[in-house]
Chain A
Amino acid sequence: MLTILLIVAGGFILLAGCVIYRHQCVLRERAQLMRDAVRHHDFSFRLSPHGLLFGERALQEALNDMGEDIQQLVARNEVEAWQRLTRVLTHEIMNATTPILSISQAYLQNEEMKGLPYAEGIQAIHDTCLGLASFVGSYRKLTQLQPPVMGEVRLSALCQSVAAMYPQLTWRVDIPAGLVVRADEQLLRQVLINLVKNAVEAETVTIGLKWDGSLFVSNDGHAIPADVAREIFIPFFTTKSSGTGIGLSLSRQILLMQHMMLTLKDTPLQGYTTTFVISPER
């Protein structure tokens, strides 16, 4: 009798052991998955807590959240690093343009210069430097932005008002009517306008605005090539046009001050070539 009991008990223990062992293997696999993700700088992993015991579920969710927090920290760090570099660079550039502009202006205004062939060259030097100073100047002004005046912004109304500025485009706005976000309305408007301006330069016909926890701003103009996609947020990058836009780098900074992130989505939304995402920071 005892032997049978012992055998049955042993069987149960073996079974339990196997189940526990398999479960541990599953956990180890998860750990490896997360390690690999982090190694590849992908902090956006979100492993499902399905099949976990309640303690393990809590651990997994903590790790998921941590991953997202690190992602936002890294992005914020990058923006702030660019901000510091921009400040130093613009300062140095403005210092350098000072004597160039002053001396060339003085020479051009000198009576003895009238009619000499050097006037043309000096004028070219002066104009080029003026252009540089003007571009850097506008950039510098914007890097000294006032702190945002946060308020309750009715997103749908804001998007409609931006849409009204570009009647020549087709607008597909999919935002809940009553949706309210916490932001600086003027600054958010500026960023939206900047995105639309870029899209217009890329010869878009349609603009899509959709809310799904974040604001997805899409267009169907020329797509951004993969190798360029990483550079678009670097300061001074978007200077092809006459410099009327505020640039994506500054847009990112402006949104960061309102605790929102601006990113380019890897795969654009259905029907579009490009999608930007404005997401609230956690």
Chain B
Amino acid sequence: MYYFRGMNQLHATILVVDDNPAILTAAKICLKPHFERILKLTRPEALLTTLQQEQVDVILLDMNFSHGTNCGQEGMAWLSAIHRKHPAIPVVLMTAYADVKLAVRGLKNGAADFVTKPWDNDELVQVLKDVIDHQHAVASLEVMEKQHVQKVVDHCKGNMSRAAELLGITRQTLYKKYQDF
């Protein structure tokens, strides 16, 4: 029976960042059957430029770049940088085995989830799929809100004060939401 490789692939792009090229290769081999595009980066310095040029759905970020004792510091800094510039893109952390403290800190700092190294292939795929699903759920909530606000404004024929009153928010909040659209 001929197996259509492409059929189970999610239309999504994963960006993997790790200074070990073998791990990038492993991630690509593991994820390619499940996700349409896998982008690889060995150096986190190119992260922000890549994010500006490419449409990325999830970032898989290694936490230990330097071999010093400050393991995790650099990764945490990059996590914050991504979160500031691209808050909509979820980040999944790759942490060292049994480094639970670092993983928890990462979650507190805005990471969507984490996997430990070494990972189980199926588990990695599932974590990434779940993160993407969650992101879609959040995105669709935002879309719903946007549509609702628009409907109310149209109903009030552009009278923002009236619309704000109906929505139960202040005029300033309504203006801000409008700006975000």
| Contacting pair A102 B20 (CB below 8 A) | no
Q: Which residues of B contact A107 (CB under 8 A)?
A: 29
Known A106-B30, A111-B3; contact A98-B118, beta-carbon cutoff 8 A: yes
Instruction: Determine if A137 and B98 form an interchain contact, defined as CB atoms under 8 angstroms apart.
Output: yes
Q: Mark A84-114, 1 if CB is under 8 A from B, else 0.
A: 0000001100110111011101110101000
Residue-wise interface mask of B (13-35) relative to A, using a CB-CB cutoff of 8 A (1 in contact, 0 not): 00000001011011101100000
For B71, list chain A residues within 8 Å (CB).
Answer: 91
B119 at interface (Cβ–Cβ under 8 A)? yes
B26 touches A98 (CB 8 A): yes
- Closest B residue to A109 using CB positions: B121
Cα–Cα distance between A99 and B20 once the two chains are bound (Å): 9
In the complex, what distance in Å separates the CA atom of A101 from the CA atom of B116?
13
| Cross-chain contact B29 with A102 (CB below 8 angstroms) | yes
Interface residues of B in 71-125 (CB under 8 A from A): 71, 96-98, 117-121, 124
Chain A residues in 8 Å Cβ range of B64: 91, 95
Among B26, B96, B120, which residue has the most Cβ atoms of chain A within 10 A?
B26
Interface mask (A124-146 → B, CB under 8 Å = 1, otherwise 0): 00000000010011001100100
The chain A residue with its CB closest to the CB of B20 is A95
**Per-position 1/0 for B33-44, Cβ under 8 A of A:** 000000000000
A94 touches B29 (CB 8 A): no
- Say whether, besides A94-B117, A97-B118, A102 and B97 are in contact (CB < 8 Å): no
* Contact (Cβ within 8 A) A91 B23: no
CB pair B98–A101 under 8 Å, yes or no, is no
A106, B97: Cβ atoms under 8 Å? Answer: no
B98 to A144, Cβ gap below 8 A?
A: yes
- B129-140 Cβ-contact flags toward A at 8 Å (1 or 0): 000000000000
| Interface contact B3-A94, CB-CB below 8 Å | no
Docked Cα-Cα span, A136 to B120, in Å, equals: 16
In the complex, chain A residues whose CB is within 8 Å of the CB of B26: 98-99, 102-103, 106
Smallest Cβ-Cβ distance to A103: which chain B residue: B26
Residues on the A chain within 8 Å of B124, using CB: 102
**A residues less than 8 Å from B30 (CB atoms):** 102-103, 105-106
State in angstroms the CA–CA spacing of A197 and B71 once bound together: 36
- Docked Cα-Cα span, A141 to B25, in Å, equals 27
CB distance from B136 to the nearest CB of A (A): 26
Taking the closest CB of chain A, its distance from the CB of B14, in whole angstroms, is 14
Bound together, the chains give a CA A107 to CA B120 distance in angstroms of: 13
- A90 to B27 Cα, complex, angstroms: 21
| A87 nearest CB neighbor, chain B only | B69
- Are A137 and B97 in contact, with the CB atoms below 8 A? yes
A99 touches B97 (CB 8 A): no
- B118 contact from A90, A91, A94, A106, Cβ within 8 A: A94
Chain A residues lying within 8 Å of B27, measured Cβ to Cβ, are 102
Q: Which residues of B contact A99 (CB under 8 A)?
A: 20, 22-23, 25-26
| Chain A residues with CB under 8 A of B96 | 91, 94-95
Expressed in whole angstroms, the Cα–Cα distance for A277 and B95 within the complex equals 39
Identify 21 residue pairs between A and B in the complex whose beta-carbon atoms are under 8 Å apart, listed by A's number. A90-B97, A91-B64, A94-B97, A94-B117, A94-B118, A95-B64, A95-B117, A98-B26, A99-B23, A102-B26, A102-B30, A102-B124, A103-B25, A106-B26, A106-B29, A106-B30, A106-B121, A136-B97, A137-B97, A140-B98, A144-B98
In order of increasing CB-CB distance, the 6 nearest A-B pairs are: A99-B26, A102-B26, A99-B22, A98-B118, A98-B117, A94-B97
